Amino acid sequence: MKENTFSATEQMLGYIYQIRFALYQLFQLPENAVCFIEKDDDIDFTDQEEGKILFSLKHKAPGDSLSDLSPDFWKSVRIWLRAYISSNKVDEDLRFFLITTGTISTGSFLENFIPTKEKKVDIIKTIPELLESSRSKTIKKTKDELFILPTEEWFNFFKRITIFDNQERIQDIPNKIIGERLRSLRPQHRKSVFERLEGWWNNECILLLTGERKMPLSGNELSEKLAFISDQFHVDNLPIDYEFAEPKEKIEIEVDDRLFVRQLRSIGIHSERLRRAILDYYRAFEQRSSWLRENVTLSGELEEYDNRLVEEWARLKEIIFDEVDEEIQEELLQATGRKLLNELSTMTNPNLRIRTGVTATFVTMGSYHMLANEKEPSIYWHPCFKKRMDEILTGVQK
């Protein structure tokens, strides 16, 4: 198949690389560091110890290298030059980092900027001749702006530049973060924690780029979010991902014919309470499925939880239904069923939680609706459900 000349794959990777690398780098800096995306450069980092650092990122194709006249370097120089001048050239903490997955060519002028190389004043002597030898429009623009700066200030500018080559590629960063920052978690949970952390990070970066978020991202905020997500994977807790989820299909209460909905109608539940029950069912079903996919529950734990729910339902049912006469008016029978539902909906009984740290109500009530939706329901709400199941579920009196 012919290669698409106009493919934007590398460019797209570059944009995603910015966001993922910013997450990785913020972990390397003190917690008081803050981060902007696409402000003065690809990424801006500032903290009290390191000062301000502008990062230019170059995610290159495998095997790419940087040589004396690489536009990647000189375009970045142009960006940094403007930042240097706008800082009035007195901010000694301002530095410029070029991060590239490529390799600096052996013997190249750019070797002067690798971290282990001491920068000497004579590095600026070869720059004019080097720039003059290029016909690149990009490099010409850099040359024109550089020559506006007095040559006696060139070294003060160029000494701030460091090039880090052979850096992690975009697909390697998750394992780096997991290996360096998530070792305290159980191995089977690390990937899930990272995916949730990166999902939050990506969303915050979008808010930052669109202007909806005004404050920079911070190391403290990152640490807090990681701790919050990690806590959900402790032995007494489980991750909650569907608390505010909505089904793709529109909820149509009037035509929903599922068993658990018909059970609720049989005790006089209507309108918004029915909609809430349908949402709880959907969210609990999706959340439980997610737990099983991620293997975060112990074998048989969900089954044990359902058994416990049925046991607590039976215990309360026996109390509430104890003095119910099946010959009383239907309205009173329905009111008794609603009382059972209401009691379970508002109880703080820890036995209703799958784990002690899982307090989301939708997990409990959605699970009850799943039990009420079985072909032979494990739980019911109407006091006469067993004797009059067909009538209650169909609404047709015999």
Q: What are 59-87's pLDDT values in tens digits?
A: 998 889 999 999 999 999 999 999 999 88
Residues 6+ apart with CB under 8 A from 204: 213, 217
pLDDT for position 112: 94
Question: For the chain, what are the domain ranges?
Answer: 9-229, 253-394
pLDDT for position 134: 86
CA pseudo-torsion sign 62, 45, 139, 165: negative
217 within 8 A of 226, measured Cβ to Cβ:
no
Amino acid code (one letter) for 205: C
> Bridge partners of 34?
46, 218
pLDDT for position 245: 96
Phi and psi based region of residue 18 (left: phi greater than 0; alpha: psi -120 to 50; beta: remaining): alpha
Cα separation of 270 and 275, whole Å? 8
Give the largest CA-CA distance in the chain: 104
272 within 8 A of 329, measured Cβ to Cβ:
no
Query: Which helix or strand (DSSP H or E) is residue 345 part of?
Result: helix 330-346
Q: What is the mean pLDDT of the chain?
A: 91
Q: pLDDT class for 331, splitting at 50, 70, 90?
A: very high
Least trusted range by pLDDT, from 3-12, 215-224, 328-337: 3-12
Describe the crossing of helices 9-28 and 187-210 by its angle, rounded to 10 degrees.
110
Tell the residue number behind the tokens 């990122």, with chain if given: 57
- Around Cβ 63, how many Cβ atoms within 10 Å? 7
Both tokens of 213, joined, read 């978020």
Cα separation of 335 and 21, whole Å? 58
Alpha carbon 62 to its chain centroid, in Å, reads 28
pLDDT for position 298: 67
302 within 8 A of 358, measured Cβ to Cβ:
no
Residues 6+ apart with CB under 8 A from 358: 237, 238, 240
